[in-house]
Amino acid sequence: QVQLVESGGGLVQAGGSVRLSCAASGLIFGSYAMGWYRQAPGKQRELVATISTDFRTNYADSVKGRFTISRDNAKNTVNLQMNSLKPEDTAVYYCNAVLWSYNYWGQGTQVTVSS
């Protein structure tokens, strides 16, 4: 059974930093493209950042230069370092794993940025 478990969310002041982690199990982690998505209240889920199996990264324009995605295939984890946080970054952040038609999601972790 595939499981993606996010951790690291919480309440932070604007300008602060948070590091999210996602621990994956039940899959061949190195074969999956990994990503972080977020969903704010009343809005659709949107892409934040992705990292491919060969470590190529992609970011939403709104987070470029502030967020960094990384993966550790030895530990089956993907991380999202979020710096210079803004109130508009407030959302539930979801971990995602994709391989062909296989698409898995974590349960999400709340990040709240206060102004």
pLDDT digit string (tens) for 58-99? 999 999 999 999 999 999 999 999 999 999 999 999 999 999
Per-residue model confidence as pLDDT tens digits over 18-54: 999 999 999 999 999 999 999 999 999 999 999 999 9
Measure the CA–CA gap between 22 and 41, rounded to whole angstroms. 22
Q: Is the dihedral of CA 71, 77, 3, 1 positive or negative?
A: positive
Q: Which residues contact 107 (CB under 8 A, 6 or more apart)?
A: 4, 5, 6, 94
Beta bridge partners of residue 20, listed in sequence order = 80
